């Protein structure tokens, strides 16, 4: 891949920024794959239908198969046409399946890059509790039957706040090594009788990091691990048992720039 970060601005193109929402259930994640059926593939196909040419769509980051988005961000360099941003939004939506929607579109400077300009992201994880999983929550939340202590959820979530090496709370994607230090600005917990939501705001997230944090929080909240042991595990990065919460409970809420 050429160095996208420093590609020269082009006079015959304008950079279009897109806010993309999707139901992750029917797709194999954001990132383009041989075999298609990813959200990026679908958005690129929609551009191709409109333009008659292939263009590349750059997302702020990957989301796994089954992960949803309210505000994924992406950009693409489109030819100079008479289409206003709202026309782009409508034209793309007309070519996309209902499970993928362009929520907003606007023209931005070619110095803006969906991935490299991102300063942080907000992810939300939804858990449904109780004996019976409500049918309308299937594919949209993790169903946890065992009782979870609200207090322990809050104290376990707090463990992750701040700057830590999250090596132990990420999966290897097989790509080049990079720093595994990240900063979680906040982990906001909202609870009700039948559900709970944890919202993480951080400067960046490693592969499967949110789902591993949620897996660990739920283990603490059900009494299988102490908050102290969790804090210790975070302090001493090393391979260890990992509990990955299912993808369906996760939503990329927004990308901060």
Would you tell me which residues interact with its own copies (CB under 8 A)?
A: 21-23, 68, 70, 89, 93, 98-103, 132-136, 138, 140
Sign of the CA dihedral 152, 161, 194, 63? negative
CB of 131 to its own copies, least distance (A): 8
CB of 187 to its own copies, least distance (A): 23
CB of 91 to its own copies, least distance (A): 13
Which 3-state string (H, E, C) describes 78-128? EECCCCCHHHHHHHHHHHCCCCEEEEEEEEECCCCCCCCCCCEEEEEEEEE
CB of 20 to its own copies, least distance (A): 9
What token pair was written down for 164? Answer: 């830590």
C-alpha separations of 127 from 130, 196, 208, 242 in Å: 10, 5, 17, 18
Q: Closer CB to its own copies, residue 16 or residue 206?
A: 16
Tokens 């929607």 — which residue? 101
Q: Closer CB to its own copies, residue 24 or residue 215?
A: 24
Residues 6+ positions from 71 with CB-CB distance below 8 Å: 19, 20, 21, 103, 252, 253, 254, 255
At residue 175's C-alpha, the angle toward residues 217 and 124, to 5°, is 30
Q: Name the catalytic one among 12, 41, 64, 131.
A: 64
CB of 43 to its own copies, least distance (A): 13
CA dihedral 85, 89, 95, 101 (to 10 degrees): 150
Q: Are strands 250-256 and 142-144 parallel, antiparallel or unpaired?
A: unpaired
CB of 240 to its own copies, least distance (A): 32
Q: Is residue 150 among the annotated active site residues?
A: no
CB 4 within 8 A of CB 61: no
Q: Closer CB to its own copies, residue 80 or residue 98?
A: 98
Q: Mutual orientation of helices 209-221 and 150-159 as an angle, nearest 10°?
A: 140
C-alpha separations of 45 from 12, 37, 53 in Å: 21, 11, 9
Active site residues: 64
């Amino acid at each position: 891949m050429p160095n996208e970060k420093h590609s020269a601005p082009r006079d015959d193109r304008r950079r279009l920024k897109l806010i993309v929402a999707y139901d992750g259930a029917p797709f194999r994640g954001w990132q383009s794959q041989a075999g298609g059926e990813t959200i990026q593939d679908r958005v690129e196909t929609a551009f191709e239908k409109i333009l008659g040419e292939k263009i590349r769509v750059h997302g702020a980051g990957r989301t796994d198969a089954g992960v949803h988005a309210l505000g994924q961000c992406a950009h693409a360099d489109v030819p100079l046409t008479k289409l206003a941003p709202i026309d782009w939004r409508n034209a793309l939506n007309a070519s996309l399946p209902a499970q993928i929607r362009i929520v907003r579109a606007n023209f931005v400077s070619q110095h803006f890059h969906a991935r490299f300009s991102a300063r942080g992201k907000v992810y939300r994880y939804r858990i449904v509790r109780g004996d019976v999983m409500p049918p309308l929550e299937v594919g949209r939340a993790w169903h946890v039957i065992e009782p979870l202590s609200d207090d322990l959820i809050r104290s376990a979530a707090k463990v992750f706040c701040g700057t830590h090496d999250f090596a132990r709370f990420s999966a290897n994607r097989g790509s080049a090594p990079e720093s595994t230090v990240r900063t979680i600005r906040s982990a906001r917990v909202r609870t009700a009788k039948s559900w709970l939501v944890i919202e993480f705001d951080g400067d960046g997230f490693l592969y499967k990091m949110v789902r591993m944090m949620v897996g660990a929080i739920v283990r603490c909240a059900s009494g299988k691990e102490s908050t102290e042991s969790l804090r210790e595990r975070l302090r001493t990065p090393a391979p260890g048992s990992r509990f990955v919460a299912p993808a369906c409970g996760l939503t990329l809420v927004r990308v901060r720039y």
